[in-house]
């Protein structure tokens, strides 16, 4: 699909360069490997194959390129997908086929389905086949069953603080991995907790406001659908600490579908699962695994390719399905 469309901004309520019509148009393309980028207040879209049209391409000039995968649920074997290892391998193939090789990967949680050691082992094994060798993880609620996350921390929590949060820098972009799946209260949503919030405030205190920020956590940090627990109780406090930054990208998983929202300088994005899809908010009785015809499954699972091109206001986020 090659589209080069110039959209006139009609009603820019948030003063962020995207109006509702442009945003919805962008959302419709998201699942087919299209890229929406703001350039000088104008929304432009490009197909995945024309990524190089973006001011010289992401790989050129030492720009940043990474991939987000999520919700591999290794160990799940019900009708919605009896072969989650196969679809995770397909995701790795997709990653290895990207024109601009990503430097590293983020896994936004639910790596395993039942927190079993062999499930984590299988994912580690499959991801070894991906070109990007560095993988940064945050846990999903399925990764911290039975042991309050002890096993997860042992495997993936080196250098992390408290319940497993941490930050790192890549080519001038500051990455913050957060944990919002521990100590969940009855009737509640995801939660960051006081200790982690204090750490966030401290972690970004001395950063220049021009530093691009990428936050990644399992449960969405915006209120997607509270009735199904799709939100984080105290994320507003975390976002308040990031208010000074000109570019904040929040990458989440958990809901097994692609969703995007822009609020001021913050772009929220949720990834598809590599295991099974879930229904859209309110479109089913519950947020359980959604069965689709077998031939359609891989077109609803996917990976997210993220590129930062210096000089652009926002990170370019491109979703690709496995089919």
Partner 1 sequence: MRRRVWILVLAAPVIAAAVLLGSDSRGLAASARQAQASSVEVKIDNFSFGPATLTVAAGTTVTWTNRDDIPHTVVSDDKVFKSKVLDTDEKFSYTFTKPGTYGYFCSIHPKMTGKVVVQ
Q: Given the rule CB under 8 A, which residues bind partner 1?
A: 78-80, 113-115, 141-142, 145-146, 184-189, 227-229, 285-289
The residue assigned the tokens 């879930």 is 278
- How large is the C-alpha radius of gyration of the chain? 18
Specify the residue, 143 or 319, whose C-beta has the smaller distance to partner 1: 143
Q: How many CB atoms lie within 10 A of CB 164?
A: 22
Q: Give the containing element (helix H, strand E) for 239.
A: helix 235-240
Helix (H, G, I), strand (E, B) or coil at 126: helix
Provide the minimum distance between the beta carbon of 152 and partner 1 in the complex, in angstroms, as a whole number: 14
Minimum CB separation of residue 287 from partner 1 in Å reads: 7
How many CA atoms are closer than 13 Å to the CA of 252, on its beta-carbon side? 27
Closer CB to partner 1, 151 or 167, in the complex: 151
Beta carbon nearer to partner 1, 127 or 297: 297
DSSP string, 202-233: HHHTTS-TTS-EEEE-SS-SS-SBGGGTBSBT
Cα–Cα dist 183/321, whole Å = 33
The minimum distance between CB 291 and partner 1, in angstroms, equals: 9
Question: Least Å distance between CB 255 and partner 1?
Answer: 13
Structural contact between residues 177 and 212, judged by C-beta atoms closer than 8 angstroms: no
Q: How far is the CB of 7 from partner 1 (least distance, A)?
A: 38
Are 323 and 292 within 8 A, CB to CB?
A: no
Helix (H, G, I), strand (E, B) or coil at 92: helix
Cβ distance to partner 1 smaller for residue 129 or 188: 188
Q: Kindly state the smallest distance separating residue 216's Cβ from partner 1, in Å.
A: 21
CB closer to partner 1 out of 117 and 288: 288
Which residue, 94 or 113, is less far from partner 1 as judged by CB? 113
Q: Which of 44, 66, 68, 61 is nearest to 251 (CA)?
A: 68
């Amino acid at each position: 699909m090659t589209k080069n469309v110039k959209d006139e901004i009609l009603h820019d309520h948030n003063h962020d360069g995207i109006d509702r019509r442009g945003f919805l148009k962008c959302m419709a393309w998201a699942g087919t490997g299209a890229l929406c980028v703001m350039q000088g207040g104008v929304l432009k879209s490009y197909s995945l194959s024309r990524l190089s049209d973006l001011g010289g391409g992401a790989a050129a000039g030492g720009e940043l390129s990474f991939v987000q995968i999520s919700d591999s649920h290794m160990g799940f074997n019900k009708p919605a997908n009896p072969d989650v290892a196969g679809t995770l391998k397909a995701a790795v193939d997709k990653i290895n086929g990207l024109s601009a090789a990503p430097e590293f990967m983020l896994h936004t949680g639910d790596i395993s389905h039942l927190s079993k050691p062999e499930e984590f082992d299988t994912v580690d094994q499959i991801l070894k086949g991906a070109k990007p060798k560095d993988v940064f993880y945050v846990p999903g609620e399925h990764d911290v069953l039975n042991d309050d996350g002890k096993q997860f921390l042992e495997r993936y929590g080196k250098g992390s603080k408290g319940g497993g949060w941490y930050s790192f820098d890549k080519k001038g972009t500051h990455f913050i991995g957060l944990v919002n799946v521990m100590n969940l209260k009855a009737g509640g949503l995801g939660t960051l907790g006081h200790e982690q919030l204090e750490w966030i405030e401290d972690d970004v205190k001395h950063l220049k406001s021009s530093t691009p920020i990428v936050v990644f956590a399992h449960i969405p940090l915006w209120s997607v659908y509270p009735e199904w627990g799709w939100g984080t109780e105290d994320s507003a406090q975390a976002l308040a600490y990031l208010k000074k930054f000109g570019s904040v990208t929040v990458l989440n998983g958990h809901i097994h579908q692609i969703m995007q929202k822009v609020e001021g300088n913050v772009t929220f994005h949720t990834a598809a699962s590599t295991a099974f899809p879930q229904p859209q908010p309110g479109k089913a009785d519950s947020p359980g695994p959604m069965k689709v015809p077998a031939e359609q499954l891989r077109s609803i699972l996917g990976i997210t390719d993220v590129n930062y091109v210096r000089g652009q206001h926002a990170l370019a986020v491109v979703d690709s399905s496995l089919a």
